[in-house]
Structure 1
């Protein structure tokens, strides 16, 4: 176990790591107790139990996540027979509110089933490696790893569809079609209210804002990477009225489409593509072979 004391300036990073621990076996029971900060307890092997503020004792079977939230009593322990394999990260910071609103942290679900703990343990491993005595980057490295941990835990939740939610994938596919939210919902056999609940839970936004983000993101790409007129860009992303698109873009982005193009525009040798490269084989500059003399 290692515990840290981040300075006030580090809290401006949004999240700070207060401690990290790795332990396994028939561990001592924790609590009952109340903390003043958040803790993510990742159980990667074994089983045990968890008791929250409601006094209900819930079974815990790996892989699983325990959310310990500030001000909420909790009490938990590993099985007396085989115990469990546990890693934990204590953290706090102003970004916790945003992660909670987006559903990455769910105080109402203290026990969360996971599909695996590989990526979460990797993030925790980065914290433990950063916690070497005398590391001048300790607070910043551990802060970055806490952000990474929350994303990894969100991806590993057993109640999600993995990396890509099928509803979000379908909305992204149809984002440029002239469909209302109700029409998008009907395509999925949902009411508009049901679609709003699904998208809010998966993406932390309303369907309208989720679709708008995709449209305007694509518009930015077309403005920067092509010579299409603003009116043509508007049509490509689903707006038949260029004046409305101009007003919407200006209000959401902060500058007009033409001005955005002037600021960000650049010519790409060999042309431009919106294809996402394979991270294992990123684009590279081929070295010029030496001249033969």
Structure 2
């Protein structure tokens, strides 16, 4: 015996231009029927929250599946899977497509070559799927946009729940972020962590989906923008604070990556206020406030 609920959506052309769209959502549990062999033209994330089963590769080899786990079903790849016929399993699935699947794959959030992914827990991904299911009611005027936004959230949540990665990032990434604004080369960073540059590249690519250079550059430029927007420091001083001794090189790099020079960014975004710049993340229960004028 098994139980199943599912709904399928047909987003319009404008919705597809959002980058991702939800094509379907479902919640099932029990001794579900075997799926496939079949091939789809879109992506499906299948979250297994309880139970065991198997997944068969195109060559017929079976991989055991033990909850919590994720099954990636990707376009053009034959797949075949089923829960244990005696115990069944609990699953939630989301069908999706769109041009944003390509960069999500490049960044490692979707893994076509790794169809079975162990998870640390399934509660958070299932929570996102449940929100998609609630949004998929037929009388919801925001149906397509709300479910599309939730697919983005689902990919991030699944990435955070992967058992092979720390939920808040690899320690190496945290250390790189801490030292990002120091004038160190990638080789210097690798040596500090007892790694070769190639090992560091592999670790950063696996954890952040980009090269160490791009990872460090993103942090440096983000910090530079904050300083430009919230202080009156000269551009040369901003450059030094984010690890560049040559302000001309910093300005060229900033312009190439952001599309405008630092001085123009400052002119557009300057928000200098008494008290200057702070890098403490605001407490949601104690947001930053601007005091009103004092009464006499």
What TM-score comes out, normalization by structure 1 length? 0.94
Q: Spell out the pairing of 1:107-256 with structure 2 (5 A cutoff).
A: 107-256=112-261
List 4+ stretches of structure 1 deviating above 6 A.
285-289
What's 1:260 paired with?
Answer: 265
Deviation of 1:80 after TM superposition, in Å, equals 1.4
How far is 1:272 from its partner? Answer: 3.4
Instruction: Indicate the SS of the match to 1:65.
Output: strand
1:83 maps to which residue?
A: 88
Give the structure 1 partner of residue 38 of structure 2.
Answer: 33
CA distance in 2, matches of 1:159, 1:61: 15
Residue ranges of structure 2 left out of the alignment (5+ in a row): 1-5
Which deviates the most, 6-15 or 269-278?
A: 269-278
CA distance, structure 1, for counterparts of residue 266 and residue 82 of structure 2: 58
For the 8 Å contact 1:64–1:112, the answer to whether it is kept is: yes
Shift, 1:267, TM fit: 3.0
Q: 1:42, 1:156 → 2: CA distance?
A: 11
User: In structure 2, what is the Cα distance between the partners aligned to 1:44 and 1:287?
Assistant: 51
Q: Give the alignment's Cα RMSD to 1 decimal.
A: 1.7
**What's the CA shift string for 1:3-44, capped at 9, x where partnerless?**
000101110010110000001011111111111111000000
Aligned length: 290
Q: Distance in 2 between matches of 1:257 and 1:197?
A: 32
Q: Which moved more, 1:156-165 or 1:260-269?
A: 260-269
- Distance in 2, Cα, partners of 1:88 & 1:151: 15
More displaced, 188-197 or 269-278? 269-278
Alpha-carbon distance, 1:281 to partner: 4.0
Secondary structure of residue in 2 paired with 1:143: helix
Query: 1:280: Cα distance to partner?
Result: 4.5
For 1:153 and 1:113, locate their aligned partners in 2 and report how far apart those are by CA, in whole Å. 10
2:3 alignment counterpart: none
Report the counterpart of residue 100 of structure 1 in structure 2.
Answer: 105
| Contact persistence 2:220–2:242 (CA under 8 A) | yes
Superposed CA offset, 1:167-201 (max 9, x none) = 11111111122211111111111111111111112
Rounded Cα–Cα distance in structure 1 between residues aligned with 2:14 and 2:48:
32
Residues 280 and 151 (structure 1), Cα distance of their counterparts in 2 relative to 1, 3 Å cut: farther
| Aligned-partner SS, 2:28 | strand
TM-score by length of 2: 0.93
Alpha-carbon separation, structure 1, partners of 2:167 and 2:257: 30
1:19/1:287 CA distance change after superposition, 3 Å:
farther
Q: Provide, for residues 218-246 of structure 1, a one-character-per-residue CA deviation record: whole Å limited to 9, x for no partner.
A: 01100111111111111111111112212
| Conservation of the 8 A alpha-carbon contact between 1:52 and 1:72 | no
- SS of structure 2 residue aligned to 1:235: helix
Query: Deviation at 1:270?
Result: 4.9
Corresponding residue SS for 2:166:
coil
Secondary structure at the counterpart of residue 47 of structure 1: strand
